Amino acid sequence: MSLPTINPTQTAAWQKLQAHFELMKEQQMQVLFAADPTRAEKMHIEWQDFLLDYSKNIATEETFALLQELANEVDLKSAIEQYFGGGLINQTENRAVLHTALRSKQTEPILVDGQDVLPEIAAVKAKMKAFSDRIISGAHTGYTGKAITDVVNIGIGGSDLGPAMMVEALKFYKNQLSVHFISNIDGDHVQELLKRIDPETTLFVIVSKTFTTQETLTNAQTIRTWFLQSASEQDVAKHFVAVSTNLQKVQEFGIAPENIFPMWDWVGGRFSLWSAVGLSVSLAVGYDNFEQLLDGAHDMDVHFRTAPFEQNMPVVMALLSIWYNNFYGAQTEAIIPYNQYLQKLVPYLQQGIMESNGKRVGRDGKPVSYQTGTIIWGEPGTNSQHAFFQLIHQGTKLIPTDFIGFKQALYGNKDHQDKLMSNFFAQTEALLMGRPETSGLSPFKVFTGNKPTNTLLIDKLTPASVGALVALYEHKLFVQGIIWNIYSYDQWGVELGKVLANSILTDIETGQIAAHDASTTFLLNKYLG
């Protein structure tokens, strides 16, 4: 079975939404709130320790009914079943998309090519747990017999952003290990790291799904050469492990089979955090916390798979995003976590969302005639309030914004927490209500309000709640891809640059500049001096 190829603009629901938009485009949320004081009571979803208040959107009950009609017309329900069931929904790469299996608790097999993937997942998890325990306890020592104190994750994209974001997010739960991330091929990045670590006490985790990524292999090679300045070849096994699908290439690099943590084709790089790609997370916070992260994500999977659309957080957030992107012409969405631990959440979600839904060809192989992937950006509050919020409040662009906040501070500092959260609530109120024009008020001080926001209020930042939060956005982007009739799980768009970089590297190394456009030739000549 494959995903249907339904052009959303050809559905009856889309036509109705278009007509409905004509009535809504001048609608003010302030008026909607005044007309219905129970609006927030109606437009929110409570699920476990999450509350999503989506009442501050330029939408009525009719808007939601029509958006759900759209979801039904594109057969979202059966697409969800294909996604969870191991259908080859990454059709352009002929692969299943099964990051959800990595956190599944089901006992019935999940089949890929007729093979149940659950036993292999369990085996890799057991290996991660045993390895994490040995490193954290100091049972595994480095080549001079000292315990490991530092872990370096060498990877890029999905092999970096997920673990780096999560180690930062779960810092409160961290053990004694210092965990570092090296990703950029910029040699200064790796040199800065090497200044700070000791080869005797550092473990290197090379993470690359393909094990062909230029940045990761170059960094790994540089680090290995540095390591061998003080250690010998047989010490490599104690200090280097790898996470990859490409077992042959890993072994060619000199990593012993027992030091390889396998992953699989059916896990996309940007969704691989839940696999052995999360090894650095398991090392940083211990395997039990890693397991709780998976459990939280799994609970969100169950919610997404089973809740009716009107009570389904990822579906509601995706539909609202479609409403603004495709009817209001909003080009970007901001995500503002009011939590410093989540400072890397947005760069992580940028890869997930923009690499997935940045597509211009529909599942029918034809260019789409409507907007697809949204631009995602943001920074934690309250810092962002003092940086770019001006534009959200008084600029000319419509920027739907998600606010993510927690009821409890982890260290329990009530003064800070109350001030933080008063800002959190004040911003969405200001964006909704604005400050109307009154006589004597300078026009520069008028705020129109009517700026849409979602508020996600979560009890506490825990491994489980962060797991659920990330899974929420994974499913949101899935729903959008289904409605936009695109293939969300390939990323051909990053290939061309890689190919050209290889040929330009040859030009630079040989000093012989091949045929390029005039600007690139000019720049290469300047670079080569």
The catalytic residues are 355, 386, 498
Q: From the list 494, 500, 508, 514, which residue makes contact with ligand F6P (rule: CB under 6 A)?
A: 494
CA distances from 231 to 135, 179, 202, 441 (A): 19, 21, 12, 72
Query: What's CA 314's distance to the chain center, in Å?
Result: 14
Interacting positions 8-47 with ligand F6P (CB under 6 A): none
Minimum Å gap between C-beta 156 and ligand F6P is: 5
Q: Which is nearer to ligand F6P, 63 or 213 (CB)?
A: 213
Alpha carbon distance 428, 331 (integer Å)? 20
Starting from the edge strand earliest in sequence, which strands make up the sheet with 332-337, in order?
44-47, 50-53, 453-458, 401-406, 332-337, 375-377
What residues have CB less than 8 Å from 346, skipping those under 6 apart?
335, 337, 376, 377, 378, 379
Q: Which is nearer to ligand F6P, 9 or 222 (CB)?
A: 222
Pairing of strands 115-116, 111-112: antiparallel
- Side-chain-facing half-sphere of 137: CA atoms under 13 Å: 9
Q: Does 314 bind ligand F6P (CB under 6 A)?
A: no
Interacting positions 270-289 with ligand F6P (CB under 6 A): 270
Closest CA to 128 of 7, 291, 318: 291
Interacting positions 139-168 with ligand F6P (CB under 6 A): 156-159
Q: Which is nearer to ligand F6P, 245 or 453 (CB)?
A: 245
Q: Helix (H, G, I), strand (E, B), or coil: what is residue 407? A: coil
Q: Which is nearer to ligand F6P, 50 or 274 (CB)?
A: 274
Minimum Å gap between C-beta 348 and ligand F6P is: 11
Q: Which is nearer to ligand F6P, 220 or 457 (CB)?
A: 220
In this structure, the number of other CB atoms found within 10 A of the CB of residue 163 comes to 29
Residue type, 70: L
Minimum Å gap between C-beta 238 and ligand F6P is: 24
Q: Does 373 bind ligand F6P (CB under 6 A)?
A: no
Find the part of the chain contacting ligand F6P (CB under 6 A) among 70-78, 175-183, 205-213, 452-460: 205-213
Alpha carbon distance 346, 469 (integer Å)? 12
Find the part of the chain contacting ligand F6P (CB under 6 A) among 63-71, 88-96, 202-210, 376-384: 202-210
Which residue matches tokens 């768009």?
Answer: 493
CA torsion angle 75 78 79 80 (round to 10): 120
Site string for ligand F6P, 329-358 (x = CB under 6 A): --------------------------x---
Q: Does 213 bind ligand F6P (CB under 6 A)?
A: yes
Q: From the list 8, 87, 269, 296, which residue makes contact with ligand F6P (rule: CB under 6 A)?
A: 269
Interacting positions 474-493 with ligand F6P (CB under 6 A): 491
Site string for ligand F6P, 380-399 (x = CB under 6 A): --------------------
Alpha carbon distance 70, 18 (integer Å)? 12
Binding-residue total with ligand F6P (CB under 6 A): 14
Give the burial string for 481-492 (b: 16+ CB within 10 Å, else e). bbbbbbbbbbbe
Q: Which is nearer to ligand F6P, 23 or 500 (CB)?
A: 500
Q: Does 378 bind ligand F6P (CB under 6 A)?
A: no
Both structure tokens of 266: 């059916």
Q: Which is nearer to ligand F6P, 211 or 403 (CB)?
A: 211
Measured between its terminal Cα atoms, the distance across the chain in Å is: 56
Q: Does 216 bind ligand F6P (CB under 6 A)?
A: yes
Is-contact 353 477, C-beta < 8 A?
yes
Q: From the list 208, 219, 325, 428, which residue makes contact with ligand F6P (rule: CB under 6 A)?
A: 208
Interface ranges with ligand F6P (CB under 6 A):
156-159, 208-210, 213, 216, 269-270, 355, 491, 494
